[in-house]
Amino acid sequence: MEPDGCLDSSLPGECPSSAVTQALSQILHHLTCQESRRNKARNAALDDLRVLIDSTECARLCGGDDPSSSPPVPAVLGQVAKALEKLASPPKEQEGRSDRHSGVAQKATEVGALFLQQLGKIEAAKNSFCPAWKTGLRHLAGPVYIFAVTHTLEQPWTNQRSREVAGKVLALLLKVSECGSVAGFLHGENEDEKGSFSLIMGLLKPDMNKESWKNNPATKYVFSWTLKQVTRPWLNQYLERVFPPSLLISDDYQTENKILGVHCLHHIVLNVPAADLLQYNRAQVLYHALFNHLYSPEYQLIQAVLLCLLDLFPILEKDLHWKGGIARPTTHCEEVLQLVLTHMEPEHRLLLRRTYARNLPAFVKRLGILTIRHLKRLERVIIGYLEVYDGPEEEARLKIMETLKLLLQYAWPRVSCRLVVLLKALLKLVCDVARDSSLTPELVKSSLLDEATDCLILLDHCSQGQVKSLLAKIPQSCDDSKVVKCISKVQQASKETSYAET
């Protein structure tokens, strides 16, 4: 394939823009054709493109020599860049196909070399003070960026070589764009400078609707990674572009996609002003989407959802003020806590138990005195989790005792009637840990005993010294030094407290 003699010219720089445009159009046709021998045609097209770029002056590729040509050379070159990006993208995922990504890394390496060549020409035009270099870059920047992100991240369709080439492409793109970071490239280095985020989202949009977003397995990662580069105060400008795709990904049946979508939504919650999220009921839509995920048995998803919800509650409950005289309305945080406690009681899977216990203290902190509404169920969950060994790290029991300490601080007027039940559970834990001969590290055992001691001291304060009197005879009849040491700390702390002042 010879692009109309342009490659055979003895003076390629003298080749008119119309001939370059025609040659690029032929190359574009061969890159996008669907004929049976397309691989051979595409390989020839890549070779011809490499020769054409090398033999054409940088100013001509940027359209600087003939800005009135139709279609402009940079526009056609941009279409070629889009075709190259599609050529190097991984194929649609198919069940039962383990080799679906074979050959993608090799294509990406070849395409990356072509992008480096094109960016090098634009850099040369820039260094030679050709004013058209910005036009050339504008048409290339979007496809080149999507290609670079697709193949820079470690994915099944990449290898070390393709990632290195993609990294070089991204670095050169930032250099030519005069941007110090990807974030600067996306939202602009200065306040009055428009970045490329809208351009990138516009290119991704056709592949981010309900019917097409799984056609290219890289699209969701490019969208997610790009979204997370843009933070306050820029992200709210693009909320309409990023909110629907994030909801779409999170609503998938695959856990991996659900988690990815929830992470995108969490980034939006953290970086978009509350007023924008409350507008058009977006925050409520987001809340209900996240709430439905709480019925999942996947602990990674539950962890991501709970973290996102905890940051969403202040936005949802921003305008809720109790005026007295009527019952205080149930908050969104309380609704989630009720469901979490319902799931925690019968849960026997350790990873889920740890996930729930890890986030429970944050809910108690958030609700404060309102945890009194959930005291009965919290009491059952706390006692149940204190009884169960949680593996060498004992994360669940440590977090449950952190929850208990917060509960004793916020709900202390209601604790005295639960004194005996909580005291028995804590003493049983102390005795179990003291006698524990498992592989639990001594540091973890020490932490458990310290936390239990702190809970006993707080319980004693809440009950006006009743714990001290109930524990008075234990040191005389117990020969376990760890248990005795724990009880002694509680008694010593009680002596130093004047309950008349509390």
Cβ-based neighbours of 9, under 8 Å, separated by 6 or more: 15, 55
Q: What is the pLDDT of residue 35?
A: 54
**Per-residue pLDDT reduced to its tens digit, 353-410:** 999 999 999 999 999 999 999 999 999 999 999 999 988 899 999 999 999 999 999 9
How confident is residue 56, by pLDDT bands cut at 50, 70 and 90? confident
Tokens of 174: 């930032």
- Say how far apart CA 383 and CA 400 lie, in whole Å: 9
Q: What is the pLDDT of residue 481?
A: 78
Q: Is residue 331 included in any domain, yes or no?
A: no
Average pLDDT over residues 6-18: 50
**Separation of first and last alpha carbons in the chain:** 91
What three-state secondary structure class fits 286? helix
428 burial via Cβ count (<10 Å: 0-12, 13-18, 19+)? middle
**Per-residue pLDDT reduced to its tens digit, 300-337:** 999 999 999 999 999 998 866 655 556 677 899 999 99
Q: Return the closest-CA partner of residue 152 out of 103, 109, 184.
A: 109
Q: Is residue 360 included in any domain, yes or no?
A: no
Tokens of 478: 């117990």
Helix (H) or strand (E) holding 89: none
Question: What percent of the chain lies above the pLDDT cut of 70?
Answer: 88
How confident is residue 413, by pLDDT bands cut at 50, 70 and 90? confident
**The pTM of the whole model exceeds 0.95:** no
CA distances for 468 relative to 355, 405, 428, angstroms = 34, 18, 17
Average pLDDT over residues 104-122: 93
**Per-residue pLDDT reduced to its tens digit, 199-228:** 999 999 999 988 889 889 999 999 999 999
Per-residue pLDDT for 125 more than 90?
Answer: no
How confident is residue 416, by pLDDT bands cut at 50, 70 and 90? confident
Q: Is residue 501 included in any domain, yes or no?
A: no
Per-residue pLDDT for 167 more than 70?
Answer: yes
Q: What is the pLDDT of residue 4?
A: 43
Are 184 and 195 within 8 A, CB to CB? yes
Q: What is the pLDDT of residue 10?
A: 39
Q: Is residue 147 included in any domain, yes or no?
A: yes
Q: What angle do CA 432, 434, 439 make, to 5 degrees?
A: 85
Length of the chain: 502
Cβ-based neighbours of 478, under 8 Å, separated by 6 or more: 484, 487
Average pLDDT over residues 226-249: 95
User: CB-hemisphere CA count at 13 Å for 17?
Assistant: 20
Average pLDDT over residues 167-182: 94
Rg for the chain (alpha carbons), in Å?
Answer: 32
Residues of 169-205 as b/e, b for ≥16 C-beta within 10 angstroms?
A: bbebbbebbebeebbbbbbbeeeeeebbbebbbebbe
Residue 392 — φ and ψ, nearest 5°? -55, -35
Q: What is the pLDDT of residue 239?
A: 95
* Residue 223 identity (one-letter amino acid): F
- Say how far apart CA 489 and CA 453 lie, in whole Å: 7
Average pLDDT over residues 152-159: 91
CA distances for 262 relative to 167, 226, 267, 332, 480, angstroms = 27, 15, 9, 18, 49
Domain containing residue 66: 1-89+103-178
- Give the chain's domain count: 1
- Say how far apart CA 9 and CA 160 lie, in whole Å: 38
CA distances for 148 relative to 152, 238, 400, angstroms = 6, 22, 45
Q: Return the closest-CA partner of residue 75 out of 62, 86, 88.
A: 62
Return mean pLDDT, the chain. Answer: 87
Per-residue pLDDT for 262 more than 50?
Answer: yes
Question: How many helices (H) does the chain have, and how many strands (E)?
Answer: 24, 0
How confident is residue 119, by pLDDT bands cut at 50, 70 and 90? very high
Per-residue pLDDT for 436 more than 50?
Answer: yes
Q: Is residue 399 included in any domain, yes or no?
A: no
Among 187-196, 229-238, 264-273, 400-409, where is mean pLDDT lowest? 187-196
Q: What angle do CA 388, 400, 300 make, to 5 degrees?
A: 85
Q: What angle do CA 156, 160, 166 make, to 5 degrees?
A: 90
**Per-residue pLDDT reduced to its tens digit, 377-386:** 999 999 999 9
How confident is residue 37, by pLDDT bands cut at 50, 70 and 90? very low
Q: Is residue 40 included in any domain, yes or no?
A: yes
Residues of 455-484 as b/e, b for ≥16 C-beta within 10 angstroms?
A: bbbbbbbbbeebbbeebeebeeeeeeebbe
Q: Is residue 287 included in any domain, yes or no?
A: no
Per-residue pLDDT for 295 more than 90?
Answer: yes
Q: Is residue 18 included in any domain, yes or no?
A: yes
